[in-house]
Each structure stands twice: as structure tokens, then as C-alpha cells.
Amino acid sequence: MDYSVWRAALSQDLTPENLAKVGEAFIEKGQIAEGIKLVLEVVAQNPDDFVLTMAAAILVLHRTLRYDIAVALLRKATLLRPDIYHARLMLADALLVKNDVNEACEQFATALKLFPEHKKEINQNLIVYFIDCGYPKEALDIAYTVLGEEGPTPLLLNDVACAIQRLNQSETALSIYAQSLQLDPECETSKFGYAATQLKCGKYAEGFVNYAGRPLKITPTTEALAALPRVMPGQDVAGKKIICYQEQGIGDTLNFARFATVMRGRGAEVALAVPPTLLRLFELSFAGIKCFSTLEDVPLDNYDYGSPIPDLPGLARVKTAQDLLVANSYLKADPADVAKFAVKLPARWPRIGLIWAGECRGNIVDYLADRRRSILLEKLMAALGPVEATLVSLQLGPPREELAECTDQPIFDPMDDVHDMADTAAIMENLDLILSVDTSTAHLAGALARPVWMISRWDACWRWGDAGETTPWYPTMRIFRSQERAFEPVLAEVGGALRAWCKNWQPT
């Protein structure tokens, strides 16, 4: 998009709605810097316009990762109109997302003082954002206080249950979710939380059936696929044609796609629609299953049903941990690629792969989830100390830039030669151990049956349960669990274990 053309067009018909539309268009095209520049210019040229300032703030807050700019815009908005409740509340929320916890709490307190009639909504926001920002204990304290003052409501009980589940007390959380659903059986938030907590408790039979009732994450890419009839648990699929599509993240797809073979074994004709980065890997791994990487390639009229890939364990009738176990890897690297990377990697053994950060997506919930799971390479290396091994980076995205500042020990970086997950899989086949945070590469290593140590955030994903070092999802995975927001204690544990592993390592 031509910035000057759109800026001139906007000046001819400047409204908050048009500002949001044009800014959104730039962001959708990947021109995020231009979108931000546009809204900042408009605000600067209209310094007393509260509505334009709020339109700019909302766009930046919800569609970019520039929370510093969002906070600055919202500060300006509250100065222009200190009497507007939503501006004050949004500023408090944005400060929490930016991790300015003390000032966020001050703004929440100010909001409660200025707008006592909105006390219920302010408390709800504070609890939810504390949970998502990694403060479940604090969120629970607030929720119990509100519960004592106002009595139970479905959403308040949901918040209590969510905080307790994040504290890895899932059996207790289940009983609270049940109370929420007694008050409102149709509360979508509680229904989803209840299902996820059942799964975290290992109650797979009931959990996956209830998980199928979640609201789907539909995008423009999957909208047409989601419009197809959805296969439901217990349905006979023999003779049916089913297109299974990615609904959640890459890690979820790597985790669940293997159950497509179960559907095929029950007589269904199954295809997989996945992002391009997974296409070649899945074609190598799932013989007899057609794979598509773009919606345009999918002949929709050929299929009776569309199934989100996260539905597949439920459709495969997974009931116990035993149903999850696999004897060998279910994903496969190309032998030619394995040989190619074998000569590219340093010869020194053992070789250890490192992934220290996930993908930081452009919405608040995913951004906060990534912040809870990702670490800095500097902190990881400080904990590991020099190890008698070759370290190999498997990191992609902006965190890869941290390699330039790492001087503790050389780290070999082959990722310029990586074009998809099949390439990453080929590198992993040449490694003796993969050390990863909870991201898609940990799933890939587990699916390849490679030895993998995963560093879990303290509010662990439902897949990993509440406790323990092992998981039925991936028999070759060892889980190191953080017990608090800071990663330093668990990283020290990982460092000690890795030094012992290197000392005892023997070539196979």
C-alpha cells in the first residue's frame, strides 16, 4: 500500500472509523510500521480530538505489539477526558500488558475511585488480566475478596477456577467450574475452561467430548473449511470424506494430526489442510493422506465434513493416557535432508539443539502467553554454563537476533538453510538432545521421538498436567517445571541436569 496515497485520501474524509479501517489495512498487509505512523500523525495533527486518539489507541493495542505506544495514546486520552471510564480502564489494562504492574494497579485504583458504579467490571478486568499476565495467586486473592462482597456469579467462579487451574490444582478447579456451570450451563467461558481442566487432569474421555464444544478460532483462511459440517464425537465416519484443518497453533497441529490416521483406519477418506511450513513434513509422514497448504487448492465440494485438527483425539476416541502412547515417531524427516545437514553441522559430539522463545503473535492473549513461556538466551546460557557439547540454535523469529550478543559459548546457527518444518526435523535427527521452551519445536522433537527436555512455564499447558517429568503425549520428553514466574530457579535445575548429562553421554 502506498502510504502517501492513503494518507491523502484519509485527510479528505477523516473519521475515527476511517482511521481504524486504513490503519487496519496497513497492518493486514504486514506494513505495521506504516500503520502506526499513520495513526500517530493523525493524532499529532488533531491533538484535542479524544475520539480519534481512542481509535488510534485501540488499533495499536489490539493489532500490534507496540504496547508502549498504546499506553502513550491512552495516557493522552485520559488527560483529554478524565471523565471517560473506558479510557481509564483500557489504560490500566494496557499497562498490565506492558508489564508496568505497579502503575497498572494505581490506574485500577483510580478507576474504582472515579467510577464506583463500574466496580464489578473493573474488578473483572483486573482479575482476568492478572491471570493472563502470570499472577494467578494475586488474581485469586482479588476474586475471593469480590466473591465475599458480591456473592457468586458464573464469570466470577470461572475466574476463580481459572486461577486455581493455573496454579496446577486442577481437581479443585474442576469443582469450581462445575459450580459456575450450575449457575449458567451455557457460559461458554466456563464450558471451555471445564473441558481444558478435565484434559489437564487426564480425564480424556469426557474432556475431549466437551472440548469439541469450544468456540472455533475461525480465520479468513479457514472460514470456508469451517462452513462444512463438523464431525462430532461418536459419529460413524466410514465412507465419508473429511478435510481436517489447522484451527490453533503449529504446535497443536503437530500434536494432534497423527489421529487423522485413526480416522482413515475407520474407513474415512482424510485430507489435511495445513500451513505451508508443515506441508512437506506431513507429506513425508502420513502416507495415504492428501495434504494441502493453501485454501485455493482444496476442492471443497469433494468433502462431506470439515474437522478442526484439535478435534481429532476426541474423534479417535482417546479415553486414557494409554491411548496416547506411540511406539515410535509418527513424523518423519527426509533422509536426504538428514544427510545434508549431517555434513553442515559441527562434527563435535554430543550436539544439543536450543529453542528459547516462541512466536510472539499480534494479539494480547497470545502475546501474554508467549511472555509467560519464553526466556532470554542470555539467561539460558548463564544457567547452562559452558557445556562439553556443540550447541545448535533451532530458533527462528526476532529472538534469533539474541545470538549476536551471546558470548558465553559458541552456538552454531543453521537456520538460514531452514525453509520449513521438514528442514528443522532433519536437523533434529542429527542432534542428541533438544532443549526447548513450550513451543512448536518441542512438539516436533517429541513427534520425531527425539530426546527432548522441555522447560514449562509455571502455569503449565493442559497437555502437561499439574506435575511430573513425563507425559504420555511424547515418551521421549522430560519436563522441567517452573514453580514461579521467574525462570531462573528452573533454569538452574536444567543447567545442573545438562552438565551431568554431558558428562555421562555416550555415542549410540
The total of other beta-carbon atoms located within 10 Å of residue 39's CB is: 26
Angle at 231 between CA 226 and CA 232, to 5 degrees: 120
Helix, strand, coil shares of the chain, percent, nearest 5, are 60, 10, 35
227's grid cell: 462452513
> What pLDDT is attached to residue 448?
98
Q: Same fold for the domain at 132-201 and the one at 335-504?
A: no
- Cβ–Cβ under 8 Å, residues 308 and 244: yes
- For residue 369, give the C-alpha cell: 502467553
Whole-number pLDDT of residue 311: 96
CA dist., res. 123 & res. 138, Å (int):
12
How far apart, in Å, are the Cα atoms of 272 and each of 166, 215, 312?
32, 21, 11
CATH 2.40.50 fits 223-324, yes or no: no
Q: Please, are residues 70 and 62 in contact by the beta-carbon 8 Å criterion?
A: no
Q: Can you say whether residue 168 is alpha, beta or left, with left for phi > 0 and alpha for psi between -120 and 50 degrees?
A: left
CATH superfamily of 335-504: Glycogen Phosphorylase B; (3.40.50.2000)
d(Cα 284, Cα 334) in Å, to the nearest integer?
7
Q: Are 36 and 64 in contact (CB under 8 A)?
A: yes
Residue 216 DSSP one-character state: P
Asked if 328 contacts 274 with a C-beta cutoff of 8 angstroms, the reply is no
Our CA angle for 246, 131, 173, nearest 5°, is: 85
Nine-digit cell string for 219: 480465520
- Residues written for the chain: 508
Would you say 222 and 247 are in contact if contact means Cβ atoms under 8 Å apart?
yes
- What does each of the 508 residues of the chain score in pLDDT, given as a tens digit? 787 878 888 888 899 999 999 999 999 888 999 999 999 999 999 999 999 999 999 999 999 989 999 999 999 999 999 999 999 999 999 999 999 999 999 999 999 999 999 999 999 999 999 999 999 999 999 999 999 999 999 999 999 999 999 999 999 999 999 999 999 999 999 999 999 999 999 999 999 999 999 989 888 888 999 999 999 888 899 999 999 999 999 999 999 999 999 999 999 999 999 999 999 999 999 999 999 997 778 899 899 999 999 999 999 999 999 999 887 899 999 999 999 999 999 988 999 999 999 987 767 888 888 999 999 999 999 999 899 999 999 999 999 999 999 887 999 999 999 999 999 999 999 999 999 999 999 999 999 999 999 999 999 999 999 999 999 999 999 999 998 888 999 999 999 999 999 999 988 7
Domain boundaries, the chain: 1-114, 132-201, 223-324, 335-504
CA atoms within 13 A on the CB side of 59: 29
pTM: predicted TM-score of the whole model, two decimal places:
0.93
CA dist 153 and 162 (Å) reads 14
Q: The domain at 132-201 falls in which architecture?
A: Alpha Horseshoe (1.25)
Rounded Cα–Cα distance for residues 491 and 487 (Å) = 6
User: Domain 1-114 - what CATH class?
Assistant: mainly alpha
